[in-house]
Amino acid sequence: NKIGGGIKNGKKFKAVQTGGPSGGVIPEQLLDLPVDFDELDKAGSMMGSGGMIVMDESDCMVNIAHYFLNFLADESCGKCVPCREGLRQMIYIYERIMSGNGRVEDLKMLEDLSVILEGASLCALGSTAQNIVVTTLKYFREEYEAHIYYNSCPAMVCKPLIHYTILENKCSGCRICVKSCPVNAISGEPKKPHLIDQDLCIKCGACMDVCPEKFDAVIKRTGILEKVTLGEKISEKVT
């Protein structure tokens, strides 16, 4: 707080990544960890380039791991199979989890691939690439489980797992959201509650952005959402 001014917009601290793209994440409970080579290594991260990336509650740790794995795959020379193919398989698994098609065995597969990358890669890029996977699994495993078991992204980042819905009891039928939707996914008569077609919705959030504050009728949710038609109550089977 004294040096950086705290978390932007007053959000809650979640983790900090140290050491660059190959570094691991350190959770809130380890914030008092001394910044030295040995302590960071014990926590699953490293000193690396000396950089730090602070993450808050709006960051999805599954998405974060996927992002850095993509970067590392692009940087990989491709000479050794463990790094080249291991990163490729990890990225494939993450994409499956983030799309709502994750499997229970995916977590064990990620852990097994991490061991192979660390022990069999020819250079430091491959042997440290698993840090982001191992630490996010260790400290934020519940986020992975939410994606796999409940089709839910707690940070509401992974687009396939989020839904924009209109609250029937708050919608005035002003049609502002209808005009803002780029794919015509919103239907409803003037001055009557509207409905978002989840099959057409591209999760751009335009409807939520333009909904007048006095109504605040559009909400963002994650989890399993039952399809409804106009006049039916929106399902509560979401988190």
Tell whether 65 is covered by a domain.
yes
Q: Which residue has the tokens 């914030």?
A: 31
State the chain's mean pLDDT as an integer. Answer: 90
Of 117, 150, 183, which residue sits at a domain end?
150
Q: Looking at the structure, do residues 110 and 165 belong to the same domain, yes or no?
A: no
Q: Looking at the structure, do residues 131 and 167 belong to the same domain, yes or no?
A: no
Tell whether 236 is covered by a domain.
no
Q: Which residue has the tokens 């940070």?
A: 155
% of the chain beyond a pLDDT of 70: 92
Report residue 41's pLDDT band, with 50, 70 and 90 as the boundaries.
confident
Q: How many separate domains does the chain show?
A: 2
Q: Looking at the structure, do residues 214 and 115 belong to the same domain, yes or no?
A: no
Tell whether 234 is covered by a domain.
no
| Interatomic CA distance for residues 142 and 138, integer angstroms | 9
Q: Looking at the structure, do residues 146 and 183 belong to the same domain, yes or no?
A: no
| Predicted confidence (pLDDT) at residue 66 exceeds the cutoff of 50 | yes
Of 150, 170, 197, which residue sits at a domain end?
150
Tell whether 136 is covered by a domain.
yes
| Predicted confidence (pLDDT) at residue 232 exceeds the cutoff of 70 | no
Tell whether 112 is covered by a domain.
yes
Query: What number is the average pLDDT over the span 165-174?
Result: 95
Query: What number is the average pLDDT over the span 194-203?
Result: 95
Q: Which amino acid is at 1?
A: N
**What is the pLDDT at residue 198?**
93
Query: What number is the average pLDDT over the span 210-226?
Result: 89
Q: Looking at the structure, do residues 183 and 145 belong to the same domain, yes or no?
A: no
Spatial CB neighbours of 234, under 8 Å, sequence gap ≥ 6 = 165, 167, 168, 228
Q: Which domain holds residue 98?
A: 8-150
Among 188, 193, 198, 192, CA closest to 223: 198
Q: Looking at the structure, do residues 114 and 183 belong to the same domain, yes or no?
A: no
DSSP state letters, 123-192: SHHHHHTTHHHHHHHHH-HHHHHHHHHHS--TTS--GGGEEEEE-TTT-----HHHHH-TT--EE--TTS
We report the CATH number of the domain holding residue 216 as 3.30.70.20
Q: Looking at the structure, do residues 184 and 132 belong to the same domain, yes or no?
A: no
**What is the pLDDT at residue 225?**
65
Model confidence over 97-156: pLDDT tens digits?
999 999 999 999 999 999 999 999 999 999 999 999 999 999 999 999 999 999 999 999
Q: Looking at the structure, do residues 191 and 92 belong to the same domain, yes or no?
A: no
Q: Looking at the structure, do residues 111 and 163 belong to the same domain, yes or no?
A: no
| Predicted confidence (pLDDT) at residue 51 exceeds the cutoff of 50 | yes
Q: Looking at the structure, do residues 145 and 165 belong to the same domain, yes or no?
A: no
**What is the pLDDT at residue 115?**
97
Q: Looking at the structure, do residues 171 and 59 belong to the same domain, yes or no?
A: no
**Which strands sit side by side in the sheet containing 25-27, from one edge to the other?**
25-27, 13-18, 52-56
> Residue 102 to residues 87, 92, 137, 148, 156: CA-CA distances in angstroms?
17, 10, 14, 5, 16
Q: Looking at the structure, do residues 19 and 137 belong to the same domain, yes or no?
A: yes
Spatial CB neighbours of 189, under 8 Å, sequence gap ≥ 6 = 173
| Lowest mean pLDDT segment, chosen from 14-23, 127-136, 175-184 | 14-23
Tell whether 96 is covered by a domain.
yes
We report the CATH number of the domain holding residue 131 as 1.20.1440.230
**What is the pLDDT at residue 134?**
96
